Amino acid sequence: MNAERFERAIADDERIEPRDWMPDAYRATLIRQIAQHAHSEIIGMQPEANWITRAPSLRRKAILIAKVQDEAGHGLYLYGAAETLGADRDELLDKLHTGRQKYSSIFNYPTLTWADIGAIGWLVDGAAITNQVPLCRCSYGPYARAMVRICKEESFHQRQGYELLLALSRGTPEQRAMAQDAVDRWWWPSLMMFGPPDDASPRSARSMAWKIKRHTNDELRQRFVDICVPQAEHLGLTLPDPGLRWNEERGHYDFGPVDWAEFEAVVRGDGPCNEQRLAHRRRAHEDGAWVREAAAAYAAKRAARAAA
Ligand code: FAQ
């Protein structure tokens, strides 16, 4: 009876809420995806935080601090959404710290110059929005609702990155070269954010049937390429793919092959910054132990006072 009601709700495009009955595998899939997403947000703070102290002006510094702070906030909404499924936040963090849960491959690349902050905003946040807008219609209510606010903030992040790159591409020859170099390095890893190709994506069919995912990895990757090509033209920068060309018949841009061996290596832990990212995250967690203890002690004191 419960299973039937669940299937009907999915078929009718109704939202599944925390107290509703759901199959164990649906719950487990959501906890995995939401946790990976939350981990990506908080690990994703590191590459950009690397440039806060070196931002070229007070305005750029204030914008960057706000963006990195938003990412912490996104992590918190997402851990909150995972908790509505019965997951324990400490356990999820422990799984991240011990390598038992993943975070997005993209955050294992270094930010070598200031232009990387622009390329991350334009391409990484752009890819994140392309992937996440459909998640606003995900069948699980708390995840879908968290996505609405996150997408609004990502949209601001994307624009600031684009504006930053535009300023550099219209600047001195050195600034322009720096912008081009950043786009050259971030383009392919951004395409990898959408996950493996459809014929090598073990989770897609089940997640599409449950309406957790609304489009396949390849569909969203294609959408992203189609959006970026005219934006790159407007920037006056080149995308590093000689195979990029408009295909009249398909109504889409064709693009060259993604290096899936590189993707697999990065997901396995062998990317340029995997070790550094995890080590920093573990250290930050340990350094923050006293804050968690103080907050818990304060909450206990307030609860005791309220009970008295
Ligand atoms: N990196 O069968 P599929 C952001 C894993 S945006 C690492 O296709 P699925 C914003 C996948 O999890 C980034 N692992 O799986 C920001 C699965 O792992 P499993 C985060 C990847 O779930 C911007 C296995 O490969 N966004 O943080 C990647 O159906 C700037 C098989 O793959 C999200 O997480 C990858 N790129 O589809 C923050 C969005 N791709 O089960 C700071 C929500 C796949 O073996 C600065 N997630 N894998 O452990 C999703 O939409 C989906 O989970 C996909 C993967 C599309 C990522």
Query: Model's pTM, two decimal places?
Result: 0.97
Is residue 196 within 6 Å of ligand 1 at its C-beta?
A: yes
Contact 198, 204 (CB under 8 A): yes
Rounded to 10 deg, the angle between the 173-192 and 141-169 helix axes is 150
Other beta carbons less than 10 A from residue 154's beta carbon: 26
Q: Stretch 248-275: mean pLDDT, rounded?
A: 98
Is residue 271 within 6 Å of ligand 1 at its C-beta?
A: no
Is residue 204 within 6 Å of ligand 1 at its C-beta?
A: yes
CA nearest ligand 1 atom 55, residue: 195
CA nearest ligand 1 atom 18, residue: 102
**Cβ-Cβ contacts under 8 Å for 218 (sequence gap 6 or more):** 194, 197, 198
99-122 pLDDT, tens digit per residue, is: 999 999 999 999 999 999 999 999
Contact 190, 128 (CB under 8 A): no
Q: To test ligand 1's pocket by mutation, which of 43, 51, 203 has the most ligand atoms within 8 angstroms of CB?
A: 203
pLDDT band at 1; cut points 50, 70, 90: low
Is residue 44 within 6 Å of ligand 1 at its C-beta?
A: yes
Q: Stretch 271-298: mean pLDDT, rounded?
A: 97
Distance 243 CA to ligand 1 centre (A): 25
* pLDDT the model gives residue 308: 83
Across the chain, mean pLDDT equals 97
Coil/strand/helix, residue 36: helix
CA nearest ligand 1 atom 30, residue: 125
130-153 pLDDT, tens digit per residue, is: 999 999 999 999 999 999 999 999
Q: To test ligand 1's pocket by mutation, which of 36, 193, 264 has the most ligand atoms within 8 angstroms of CB?
A: 36
The pLDDT > 70 percentage for the chain reads 100
Distance 300 CA to ligand 1 centre (A): 37
207-247 pLDDT, tens digit per residue, is: 999 999 999 999 999 999 999 999 999 999 999 999 999 99
Is residue 220 within 6 Å of ligand 1 at its C-beta?
A: no
pLDDT band at 167; cut points 50, 70, 90: very high
CA nearest ligand 1 atom 17, residue: 203
pLDDT band at 168; cut points 50, 70, 90: very high
CA nearest ligand 1 atom 51, residue: 131
Which residue pairs from 276-280 have beta carbons closer than 8 angstroms and sit at least 24 positions apart in sequence? Answer: 277/43, 277/46, 277/103, 277/107, 277/108, 278/96, 278/97, 278/99, 280/46
The tokens of 58 are what? Answer: 């007070």
* pLDDT the model gives residue 105: 98
Contact 132, 294 (CB under 8 A): no
29-53 pLDDT, tens digit per residue, is: 999 999 999 999 999 999 999 999 9
The pLDDT > 90 percentage for the chain reads 99
Is residue 267 within 6 Å of ligand 1 at its C-beta?
A: yes
For the chain, report the end-to-end CA distance as a whole number of angstroms: 45
